[in-house]
Structure formats: structure tokens, C-alpha cells
């Protein structure tokens, strides 16, 4: 991991190489790389940002949570979608508000991943999805229903799963 971290700090390193190094750090679950990977969430290259979000989810270190929540505002939908996955993997309920808001994202994959992430956050995440069934936006209602059904978490008024 030290050589990969050195590579990330190399100003002459190619973006594709940085993305590959970050991917490897994530696969190795290199907790010592969290700070360097978090810094790359702000990199100008979209693929570097995507790989950073993915790696942070794989590493699973809660120190990445605030940066991943910030990444949910990235202009690239791909980064937002992977950041939602990573937040679900971290399992921190502090992400409930941003994930709930992201159910209304303009990009389907962001909505889908945010809904799945909420389903990973236990009772409060499931309740957020159930509450979203009454949202004014039909896309929010649809994705929430889809994930609740996939997870076997839908229930009728009598409390019976459908």
C-alpha cells in the first residue's frame, strides 16, 4: 500500500493509473489509505472520483462517511450513485437524510442505489423508504416500492408482507 499511496501523490501520475491504484487500495481494504482516497473524491477526473467512492465503501472505515455524504452532491451522477452504495456499506444512520433526499435525484441509478443503501440502514432506513411511498414524486414512490418489495419489506395495512 505505501507504493500505491506514493503513486497517488505523484503529480505526474496518469488519471487512469490513479483510478487503478485507488481500486486496488479498496480491494485490499487498506484502512491506512482512507485520507488519501478521500482527497481524491475531489479529483477533476470522474473515474478517479468513482473509484474513490467505491474504494471507501470497500474499506468500510467510518472516517469516510462525511466525505461520501458530500460526494452525494457531485455533478456526475456516476459518483453520486457509487457514493450511495458506499454509504449503505458503511451503515451509518447519519447518512439517512442525504440518502432520503437522493431518492429524488434526477438519475435513476442514484435513486436506485440510495434506496438500496437505505434498506441497509436497519429499521430507520426501512421506515424512510416506507415514508417515501407517500412522496409527491412518482419516481421516489416507485423506487421505494421496488426496493421494499425486493427486500421483502412491503406490508399491507394489516402489517402482513406482500
pLDDT at 154: 78
pLDDT at 155: 65
pLDDT at 161: 47
Whole-number Å distance between alpha carbons of 50 and 101: 20
Q: What pTM was computed for the model? A: 0.91
86 in Cβ contact with 56 (< 8 Å) = yes
Could you read off the pLDDT tens digit of each residue along the chain, which spans 162 residues?
A: 889 999 999 999 999 999 999 999 999 999 999 999 999 999 999 999 999 999 999 999 999 999 999 999 999 999 999 999 999 999 999 999 999 999 999 999 999 999 999 999 999 999 999 999 999 999 999 999 999 999 888 765 444 444
Whole-number Å distance between alpha carbons of 107 and 11: 33
Amino acid at each position: 500500500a505505501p507504493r500505491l499511496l506514493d503513486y497517488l501523490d505523484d503529480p505526474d501520475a496518469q488519471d487512469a493509473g490513479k483510478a487503478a491504484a485507488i481500486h486496488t487500495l479498496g480491494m485490499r481494504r487498506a484502512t491506512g489509505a482512507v485520507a488519501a482516497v478521500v482527497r481524491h473524491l475531489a479529483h477533476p477526473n470522474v473515474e478517479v472520483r468513482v473509484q474513490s467512492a467505491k474504494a471507501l465503501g470497500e474499506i468500510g472505515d467510518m472516517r469516510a462517511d462525511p466525505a461520501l455524504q458530500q460526494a452525494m452532491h457531485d455533478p456526475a451522477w456516476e459518483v453520486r450513485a457509487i457514493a450511495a452504495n458506499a454509504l449503505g456499506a458503511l451503515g451509518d444512520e447519519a447518512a439517512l437524510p442525504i440518502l432520503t433526499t437522493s431518492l429524488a435525484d434526477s438519475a435513476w441509478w442514484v435513486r436506485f442505489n440510495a434506496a438500496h443503501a437505505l434498506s441497509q440502514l436497519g429499521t430507520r432506513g426501512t421506515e424512510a423508504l416506507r415514508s417515501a411511498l407517500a412522496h409527491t414524486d412518482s419516481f421516489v414512490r416507485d423506487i421505494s416500492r421496488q426496493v421494499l418489495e425486493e427486500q421483502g419489506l412491503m406490508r399491507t395495512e394489516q402489517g402482513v408482507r406482500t
